[in-house]
Every structure is written in structure tokens, then in C-alpha cells.
Amino acid sequence: MTDLPRRRFLKLSAIATWQALAGAACASRPPSAEASGPRERRVAPASALTLFLCGDVMTGRGIDQALPHPSAPGIHERHLRSAADYVRLAEAANGPIQRPLGFSDLWGAAREEWRRVEPDVRIVNLETSVTTSEDWQPKGINYRMHPANVACLTVAGIDCCALANNHVLDWGPAGLLETLDTLRAAKLATAGAGRDAAQARAPAILELPGKGRVIVFSFGTTSSGIPSDWAATAERPGVDLLPDLSEATVRSVARRVREVKRVGDVVVASIHWGANWGYRIPPEQRSFAHGLVDTAGVDVVHGHSSHHAKGIEVRRGRPILYGCGDFISDYEGLSGNDEYRDDLVLMYFPSLDPGSGRLVRFRLTPLRMRRFQLVRPSQKEFGWLSDTLARECAKLGTSVERVDDDALELRWA
């Protein structure tokens, strides 16, 4: 227990459920320490292009409060008025949190796994604005991280942040513009949001010496809770919001891919879509993902918005991740959806043949968020996540197999 007065703690505990709090929708790198760490055997052929992908990286609110440069703590939720309450809730659930939390400590066991796998590029959905703006939008939940904490992304060697999500404009257009400026100054590529529609729609282009280019599009959808008026226009900052998941939208994405894709490029479509909870994959998501692979030239569909991992499909040698789950979050003190174990997260490492873009290997590493750090899960937790993933993947024609004692590999026909 912390210094939180007991009465206050009880009050917090009583309302700290997803249902009570949400009401709102949540509906070339610096070499860093990883490169110089102990070398273990590679997990994919050296010629392969290995991506690191994950779901929501929510370094705002409670996480931001624990980092070295916390924002002003005021928030505007129905039951909570201080972002620091999320630190206290997490501590009440799992024990004391180191404060300040070091930028690299946040990533915990993920760093060891990055050293082992050596991904060529690291792409995340950054589920927060990075700003000191006070222009909070009346949507119930507002995530922000102080710009001085952006080092938590650079120390992790993140290359590209997908931004077309339902939190990047939580602190208004000024908050988005500061987010873009902060990430650019930190040499992080972005896609999916911009000061106008042209910038929001422009893909991030990542050059990988000897392995071609990775081109990242980031698309948002209203099904993930993005307000429709967050769409960027010629005059208004915003996100790249897809109008729907129709065949016409597939054709529109196909035209955009054709404008930029060259032979040897790998195209990632990062999409924030669907509800936070549940394993069901809506038929329109599936047909849209198939269209992206079949006709739009997309090589990797990187879907997110679900708070837990969903099934993975491989179509024509192209991986489709329907929901990557959370990765970094301050949710560990919340209850109400415990059966989904959103604290159990996955690192996704698809390895592609750079010539053809086809998937050659796909490693998945389970971790757990605990006391605001990523740690290795227990054997029981590993088994639960593995079984859950196997069950959901079987519906999509894939399976998982345990490798290296602490990781999984996807198998596909």
C-alpha cells in the first residue's frame, strides 16, 4: 500500500473498473544499448527483413506520471481528476512502482528480446498525444505524455509511430501539432496524422541499407472511437481517417500504394480499428484486410485497438494481425475485463523475404506489464496466452508453437 489514505484508496478501488472509467472510447535508429548487448543466435535468416510490431504504446497519463518529466496531473475523467491516481491504482494492484521510472526501465524484458532478435525496424501504435496543451477534448479519457519524456521512445529504438488513433488529438489540434513537432525533433518517423490531409496521408518511408525500404501507412477508423471530425482536411490538422472498409476504400488505398511502392519495398498498413474487447473479427475487417493484400499491394496488415491479442491470418504469404493488444499501458490497476488478461502482451516479429515480401518466419514473444515495466510472464501466464492465441489462430488457419522456451512461432499453410 502506498501513502494513499485508506479512504481515498477504497474510493478509487470502487470505481477503478473499465466500465466505470471508460465510458469513453478507447474504444535508422540510435544504436542504443541493445546493439552492444550479449549476442545470441539470430532467430531469422540474416537476409530476412525482420519487423518489430506491437499494439498500443500508451505512455501517457499514469505512465507519464512515473517517468522523469511528468505532465501537470490534471485529467477530466468522470471519476478521477489526477493522472497520478493511475500510478496509485497500479501500485495497489501489484506493488510499488519505481519513481522516477527510467526511460529504458519501462521496456524491461523487451530490451533483452530486441537484442536477441535484432529487428531491422520497430513500428508501434503510439496511443497518446505528446504535449503540454491544456485544450482537452470532452471525450472522457485524455492521454498525454510530456514532450520531455519522448526519450522513452528513442531509448527503445522505435523507428516509426503510427498516429491515426483515437488519442492523438485528445488535447486538441495544438496537442497534435506539438506531438508531431516533438516526434520529428526526436527523429521518429510518423504516419497517419498531420497538420493537413496531405501530411496525414503521407506514408513514413524507412530506408534499410541492403534490405530496401519499409513503407508505413497509418489508417484510422471510427470503429476504434476516432471522432469523425478528427479527419484531417486541407485546412485542418487531424488523422488519416478511412471513410469505411468498402471495396472502394481498398481501391483508394491501392492507388496510394502504387504511387510510392517500388520493387523490393515492403508496405505495412497499420490500422486502428474495432472494439477494445472480444475476439470476434468483423467480416468487413477480414474482407478489407484481404483486399489490401490481394489488390492493394500491402505486405503486412498491422491491426490494433483491441486491448488484447487477437488471431493472426496469413494470406498469400502476407501476415494479417487483426488486433495486437496493448503493449505499454497504465491499466494494471483496473478490473472488469480480467478474463482477457490485457496485461499479457506480445512482441510481434514477422520476418519477410525482402525480395518478394513474403513471410518466412514469425516469432511472437509474450511479456507482461507489471508495475509499469515489461517482464517475462510466469509459465502459467505464458501457457494461457499461448492457448488463447492458438484457439484464435485456428479459426484463421494458423497455429502457434513454443520455441526457445520463452517465445512462440506462428505456423501457417
Considering the complex, what minimum distance in angstroms separates the CB of residue 353 from Zn ion?
Answer: 32
Strand pairing partners for 269? 217, 301
Per-position DSSP letters for 129-189, written without gaps between them: EE-------SSS---EE-GGGTHHHHTTT--EEE--SSSTTTTHHHHHHHHHHHHHHTT-E
Return the number of the residue (25 or 253) whose C-beta is nearest Zn ion. 25
Return the number of the residue (29 or 144) whose C-beta is nearest Zn ion. 144
Return the number of the residue (62 or 119) whose C-beta is nearest Zn ion. 62
Max Cα–Cα distance, the chain, nearest Å: 63
287-306 residues in contact with Zn ion (CB under 5 A) are 305
Window 75-114: contact mask with Zn ion (x via CB under 5 A): ----------------------------------------
Q: Is 125 in the site for Zn ion (CB under 5 A)?
A: no
Q: Is 329 in the site for Zn ion (CB under 5 A)?
A: no
Return the number of the residue (50 or 131) whose C-beta is nearest Zn ion. 131
In 3D, which of 407, 279, 43, 409 has the Cα closest to residue 399? 409
CA distance 395 to 283: 13
Which cell numbers hold the place of 220? Answer: 484510422
Return the number of the residue (44 or 158) whose C-beta is nearest Zn ion. 158
Considering the complex, what minimum distance in angstroms separates the CB of residue 213 from Zn ion?
Answer: 28
Considering the complex, what minimum distance in angstroms separates the CB of residue 54 from Zn ion?
Answer: 13
Considering the complex, what minimum distance in angstroms separates the CB of residue 272 from Zn ion?
Answer: 6
CA distance 344 to 381: 8
Return the number of the residue (166 or 388) whose C-beta is nearest Zn ion. 166
Return the number of the residue (59 or 351) whose C-beta is nearest Zn ion. 59
Considering the complex, what minimum distance in angstroms separates the CB of residue 323 from Zn ion?
Answer: 11
Residue 241 and residue 164 in contact, taking contact as beta carbons nearer than 8 Å: yes
| Residues 6 or more apart whose Cβ sits within 8 Å of residue 247 | 291
Crossing angle between the packed helical segments 247-260 and 283-294, to the nearest 10 degrees: 30
Q: If you count them, how many residues does the chain have? A: 413
Q: Strands 49-57 and 326-328: what pairing?
A: parallel
**CA 280 and chain centroid, separation:** 19
Window 136-165: contact mask with Zn ion (x via CB under 5 A): -----------------------------x
Residue 293 and residue 301 in contact, taking contact as beta carbons nearer than 8 Å: yes
In 3D, which of 118, 184, 176 has the Cα closest to residue 153? 184
Name the one range near Zn ion by CB under 5 A: 131-139, 140-148, 166-174, 192-200.
Answer: 166-174
Considering the complex, what minimum distance in angstroms separates the CB of residue 78 from Zn ion?
Answer: 18
Considering the complex, what minimum distance in angstroms separates the CB of residue 305 from Zn ion?
Answer: 5
Give the chain's radius of gyration (CA, Å): 20
Return the number of the residue (50 or 305) whose C-beta is nearest Zn ion. 305
Return the number of the residue (305 or 329) whose C-beta is nearest Zn ion. 305
Residue number, nearest CB to Zn ion: 166
How many chain residues are in contact with Zn ion, going by CB under 5 A? 3
Among 133, 137, 142, 166, binds Zn ion (CB under 5 A): 166
Considering the complex, what minimum distance in angstroms separates the CB of residue 221 from Zn ion?
Answer: 10
- The residues binding Zn ion (CB under 5 A) are 165-166, 305
